[in-house]
């Protein structure tokens, strides 16, 4: 969380734009999960007094060049438009910007790039200090891949976009090469049969506990990440993020919460993972319980900060 706490600049920027643009976006509730999605798109309450608003406004105008401009993000009715989850992920990257620059990645990748808002923002965040990073983005929805390309072009930046399931056609040859991986997976708990449907449903339908796709993504990310690789993942509390951290821990990764944000009905948590030599030596079975406790402690401290 930045110095402005919950009223983090970029978030507010996007929030205002989001409200401006999406207030009247109505999605046909053609499946149970569409309801959850609609709730995501409902504007958060704006608690601003005029003085604070001026301050936010200043922050906002400074931030605009650092992340993708929502008005230049291309859209299509079959492609998920940036909303709270996308903004929370970009805020996590923004909060970690200095670390990312010092990390000096050669290759960054996003799995499930959707509208292209996140990968474009990542490029804009790093571009000035690290002009020669190579970027890759995948999506299982061919229209999303095309929309991502349009969003990149509208911002004058470039990334390689591939249409594939997770990263299946890249897994073999790209293994161990990705220094930064960013994933905003379909995490909404839905009936299993909705997972992997064509079009926009693939952007949110996450199956039981919203974990079907996440659980397939984790081993792929482990394979693709370089020795120094970092991994940012969007989750909900209903995805059991502590369990996700535990799964990754068994693969030798340490983790932390970068951003926590509550919307009206959902509680978003952006996790960051990195390879930690110490994690491999830990007695994994007996320490699971204390790990869970530790995770919930750090989560509650995040939530306290948000409401303070």
Partner 1 sequence: MRLITHNMLSCNIKGVTNGFPLKIEAEKVIEKEVDFNPEFLRHMFAKIEWKALVEAARSLGYAELPEDSPDATAIESSVDDESLLKKLHHALLELHLEEGALVCPETGRKFPVNKGIPNMLLHEDEV
Residues of this chain that interact with partner 1 (CB under 8 A) are: 106, 131-132, 134, 136, 140, 142, 145-146, 149, 158, 160-165, 168-174, 177
* 296 CB burial (10 A radius; 0-12, 13-18, 19+): exposed
CB of 183 to partner 1, least distance (A): 18
Q: Which is nearer to partner 1, 8 or 138 (CB)?
A: 138
CB of 230 to partner 1, least distance (A): 17
**Exposed e or buried b per residue across 85-104, where buried means at least 16 C-beta atoms within 10 angstroms of its C-beta:** bbbbbbbbbbbbeeebeebe
Among 178, 197, 175, which Cα is nearest to 186's?
197
CB of 157 to partner 1, least distance (A): 12
Q: Which is nearer to partner 1, 44 or 146 (CB)?
A: 146
Query: Is 202 in contact with 140 (CB distance < 8 Å)?
Result: yes
The Cα 166–Cα 174 span in angstroms is 13
Q: Which is nearer to partner 1, 1 or 162 (CB)?
A: 162
The Cα 121–Cα 140 span in angstroms is 20
CB of 187 to partner 1, least distance (A): 22
Q: Which is nearer to partner 1, 4 or 177 (CB)?
A: 177
Q: Which is nearer to partner 1, 13 or 138 (CB)?
A: 138
CB of 191 to partner 1, least distance (A): 20
Query: Is 244 in contact with 277 (CB distance < 8 Å)?
Result: no
The Cα 250–Cα 253 span in angstroms is 7
């Amino acid at each position: 969380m930045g110095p402005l706490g919950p009223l983090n600049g970029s978030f507010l920027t996007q929030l205002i734009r989001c409200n401006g643009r999406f207030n009247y976006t109505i999605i046909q509730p053609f499946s149970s999960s569409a309801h959850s999605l609609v709730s995501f798109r409902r504007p958060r309450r704006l608690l601003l007094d005029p003085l604070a608003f001026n301050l936010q406004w200043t922050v906002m105008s400074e931030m605009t060049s650092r992340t993708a401009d929502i008005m230049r993000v291309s859209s299509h009715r079959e492609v998920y438009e940036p909303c709270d989850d996308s903004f929370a992920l970009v805020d996590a990257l923004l909060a970690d910007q200095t670390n990312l620059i010092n990390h000096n990645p050669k290759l960054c990748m996003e799995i499930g790039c959707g509208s292209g808002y996140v990968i474009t923002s990542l490029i804009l965040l790093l571009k000035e200090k690290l002009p020669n990073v190579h970027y890759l983005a995948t999506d299982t929805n061919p229209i999303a891949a095309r929309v991502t390309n349009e969003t990149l072009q509208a911002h004058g930046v470039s990334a390689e976009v591939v249409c594939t399931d997770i990263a299946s056609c890249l897994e073999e040859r790209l293994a161990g090469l990705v220094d930064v991986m960013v994933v905003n997976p379909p995490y909404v708990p839905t009936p299993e049969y909705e997972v992997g449907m064509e079009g926009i449903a693939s952007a949110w339908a996450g199956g039981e506990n919203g974990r079907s796709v996440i659980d397939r993504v984790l081993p792929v990310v482990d394979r693709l990440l370089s020795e120094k690789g970092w991994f940012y993942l969007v989750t909900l509390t209903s995805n059991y993020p502590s369990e996700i951290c535990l799964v990754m821990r068994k693969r030798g990764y340490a983790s932390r919460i970068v951003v926590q944000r509550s919307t009206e009905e959902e509680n978003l948590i952006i996790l960051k993972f990195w390879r930690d030599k110490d994690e491999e030596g830990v007695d994994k079975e007996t320490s699971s319980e204390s790990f869970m406790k530790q995770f919930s402690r750090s989560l509650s401290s995040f939530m306290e900060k948000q409401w303070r």
